[in-house]
Each structure stands twice: as C-alpha cells, then as structure tokens.
Amino acid sequence: MALLLRHSRKLRRVHVVLDCERGSIARHFSVAAAKEDAVSSSSVHGEYGKKVGRSSIFLDRQSDKDLHTFKVSSREAGGSYSSKRMPIAATGVNSLFSCGQVVSARHFSSGADLPPHEAIGMPSLSPTMTEGNIARWVKKEGDKVSPGEVLCEVETDKATVEMECMEEGYLAKIVCGDGAKEIKVGEIIAITVEEEGDIEKFKDYKASSSAAAPAESKPQSEPVEPKEEKKEVSKAPEPTATKTEESSQSGDRLFSSPVARKLAEDNNVPLSSLKGTGPDGRILKADIEDYLSSAAKGSKKEAAAAPGLGYVDLPNTQIRKVTANRLLQSKQTIPHYYLTVDSRVDKLIKLRSELNPMQDASGGKKISINDLVIKAAALALRKVPACNSSWMNDFIRQYHNVNINVAVQTEHGLFVPVVRDADKKGLATIADEVKQLALRAKDNSLKPEDYEGGTFTVSNLGGPFGIKQFCAIVNPPQSAILAIGSAEKRVVPGAAEGQYEIGSFMSATLSCDHRVIDGAMGAEWLKAFKGYLEDPTTMLL
C-alpha cells in the first residue's frame, strides 16, 4: 500500500490533529493525488515504511491479532515529534486519537478518487454528550473558512453551542444539514478542502459508515477480517456481532461495564438479552440506553394504535430527553426525603422594596425575592457545609465552592444555569447574573460553563406560578434541591392577647439524598435558611 503526504503543509496538519484540544477531524489521502508528489521510500521500524519529505509513516504488523499500527514522526529544526502507536484495521490505516473531549480520526484511502480533504465529525461538547443535533449552519457550501470562525450551531444535551473551524480551507460539502437529528459523536457532518477548485468534486459525496469516526462513549471494537470487509464493507458489523455474541456468552458469563450493570439493574434490563458492542462482546452503557430507547419506541407505537384517539407527536429536544433520563435515574436511585418549613417574609419583602430604588438609581437590575432566596440558601450552605456535598459511592465529596443552580423553564425544556460562589456575591451581582443566565437559557445559547459545576439547586414555582408548595427531584450528583412556593397572607396572633395581625408566609421544601444528608442535618440547614429569610439584614453583613 502506498501512503504518501503531499507537502510539508500536509505534515503540519498531522501535527494539528495530534495536538488538537477540540474538534473532530478525519483526513482522506488518495493514492491518485499522492502519486504526483511521491518520493523515495525506505523500510524503517516496521514491515512497511514510506519516506515523505521530512516525515515518515511506518506500519507495523501485530501477528497475534493481524492488525496494523502506524507512527507519524518528523524532525524539523532539530526538534522531533512522534505520536502514540494505535491499533489499526488491516484493510487500511484508520487511527483514532483522543483530543480533549472529542474523537479525532484520520483515514488514508487507497481507492477513492478524491483530492485531499478533511471530514469534520460531530464533536463532544459536554461530558455527557453522546449525540447532537445541527441547529443551523452559519457557513454555506463553497464558503471560505478560517480557524476560529463559527461553522455551525450544535444542539447538545445541555444547550446550543457554536462549533468553530480548526483550519483554513473551503467548506466543500455539508453532510448533515440544518435540523439534522441524533448525530452520533464522531459521525461526519461536513467536508472541507484546501483548494477552491476541489469543491465541485464533492458535489455528490456521501459519507460511508466506515469513514465515520466512532462515538467517544463506545470503545473501538476488534476489526473484522480483511477478506470479509473487502467483499462487502456494509456487512462488516455482522462478523463482529457474531463474535460478540459468542464471547459474551462464553462460559455462561456476561461481560459488562459497572455503569452498564448498574443502569440495567435500575431499569430491570436482562443482560442476557443484549449483544455487547464493546471489546470481546462487553456490554456498555450505550447498549443499555439503546435497549431502553427501543422499548420506549415500541410502547409509543402501541399507544398510537388505539382507535378513535386524536393526538399530535411533538419531537423531543435533546435537552428534554437528557433531563428526562437524569430525573428518572435520580428518582430510581436516590433515596429522597422531604422537609418543609414556613418562613415569615414581611421583613424580606420590606428589604427588597428598600433596595430596588437604589438599584434603579444606579442602573442595576431589580432584586427579586428569588435573588434573596438564592443568597440565603448560599449562606445557609456555608453555615452547614455538610449539605453542600455529593455521594461518590466510596466517599462523600464536600465542596468548598457554593455554586447555586437556578431552574429556568423554557420552550426548549428545563435549564439550570449556575451562579458561582453565590455566598460571596452581593445581591445586585446575583440579580444581574440570574437575569442574564435566564435570557441566555430562553435563547438556547447557554455555554457549558454556564450550567456545569453546580453544588445545590433552587427551583421557584411560587412567584411565577403561584404554587403553594411542592417537592422537587434532586439534581445528581448534588444531594439537595430547594423548592420555593408562593408567599401568602395569613392571620396570626398579635403581641397582646386577643390581638391579631396579618403576615406573609412562604413555604420552602428541601428534597434531600438520605445517603448524604441525614434528617437532623437537613433540619439544621432549613433552620439556618429560615433565619436569613426572617432576618434578611444579616445577609448584608
């Protein structure tokens, strides 16, 4: 097999792929294009070796698994660079590198009659992302692109994030257009080329399943035999599936990851009915999720078959699906219990009415009751730090930072942006941040740093909706969430016998993870929280 790079410029792009921190890139080099710049070859460090300018590509054969490995090395200005060796399919060089949170792949094609190009894959833009949607393309086919420019907007499991270009070139082909749904991480979404004249050659380009980089969440499984793949590439997964079934059932023992076993146990999924997609038939978390997704679709079809029932199917956004899965997991795996307290908030309402004129005079945002609740919750967490913790199976992690997530309902679903170090910020700063985050949530433009890293959540359905009292579901990995109801007027006994007065009372319910927060500990936190609400001037000290 002849594998050649064209210029040192191509070599620099190899370095970009090996050193990249984000972006998912695949490059295809065709023999037809490479022959023009072919140079002498030599065999070094392996069965095959091709010298390319100041760079070399080496291929080694592993006799035990009949796999190739490759190594890219260069020496310029006295320096050197070499990549880690990775196992490659025997039918061609197809190596995967881990670049930050994103899978990056490089493909060398010996049969495709296409010029050198780069295949942009769906990036992993959040720790829990396994697939995403294309909200819209900012660039169009034929547009020139430069590093740092926004290519498209990707709807992740958390928010809509801008995806930037990694290298200079031209956008030759958009594989997944506006509105494309459920694109796996690593799957090819676009093609870029270096020369403007090469754009037309990708007019009818279609990404094959073998060219797509696999999702980050699924480890690369063993390649199929070369002869079978040459006969019919589309049937390559069949031998793997057969081998998977045999290995997963060998010795009446099932192999699965700890996360997959836990998820299967929580959802009553029989592992024996699954075919693992991991190495040696190992059952992964993604296999359980696929099984649950298929079961849910089957139930939906049965419900839709009911006669005389009018309905409309509303597609779920990525954030709504992820929220649903997380809440289901929380309710099934976390031992919830609830504590409710009523606080008299007359002084709180009075303080707010005194602060807002000063805010108006200074041009700041008006302070809401919810802003005061966030500050009180943060200070209570500082006073009772044991409630600012997470269950980590073998230990309890207690946080030094008090980061409060604030639940915001939008037409896209429920978002929980975070106010960081809320215990150290003033009311005016909290009010400004909450309003800015709420606007970005409603515009679906939150960034990962806007919602990650929270240690406690506040959900308020009282002010906007008039809900008197409710119990919220803990937002894992946090251990508590505070549900705020509306303030209502009540007649209460006065200072003297036979006297009565009217006071405003607000209900607050703390949902706790009993593994972390015992009843007395939760009660202690609520006592501190109530103290700040009923004597709000202590929050200003």
Which residues are known catalytic residues?
514, 518
Tokens matching residue 73: 């090395």
Residues 407 and 309: their CA atoms lie apart, in Å, by 34
Q: What is the dihedral of CA 174, 175, 181, 187, to 10 degrees?
A: -120
Alpha-carbon span 446 to 316, nearest angstrom: 19
Residue 41 CB contacts under 8 Å (≥ 6 apart), including other chains: 49, 50, 51
End-to-end CA distance of the chain: give it in Å, rounded: 74
* Dihedral over alpha carbons 246, 247, 248, 251 (to 10 degrees): 90
Token digits for 186?
Answer: 């690593």
Reference 87, options 240, 262, 279, 255; nearest CA is 279
CA–CA distance, 214 with 290 (Å, rounded to integer): 16
Is 264:276 a contact under the CB 8 Å cutoff?
no
Give Cα 313 distance to the centre of its chain: 26
Q: H or E segment at 131?
A: strand 131-137
Place of tokens 């939906």: 300
Residue 514's nearest CA partner among 506, 522, 503, 504 is 522
Burial 204-216 (b: 16+ CB within 10 A, else e): ebebeeebbbbbb
Amino acid, single-letter form, for residue 465? F
Cis peptide before 477 (omega within 30 of 0): yes
Contact by Cβ (8 Å): 188, 213:
yes
**Residue count (the chain):** 541
Rounded Cα–Cα distance for residues 129 and 122 (Å) = 10
- Kindly state the tokens that stand for 397: 């992690």
Q: What gap in Å lies between CA 381 and CA 399, rounded to an integer?
A: 10
Q: Could you tell me the two tokens for 446?
A: 């939150």
Q: How far apart are CA 323 and CA 415, in angstroms?
A: 9
Phi, psi of 327 (to 5 degrees): -70, -40
Q: How far apart are CA 528 and CA 541, in angstroms?
A: 15
Burial of 104 (0-12, 13-18, 19+ CB in 10 A): buried
Question: Alpha-carbon distance 164 to 429, whole Å?
Answer: 31
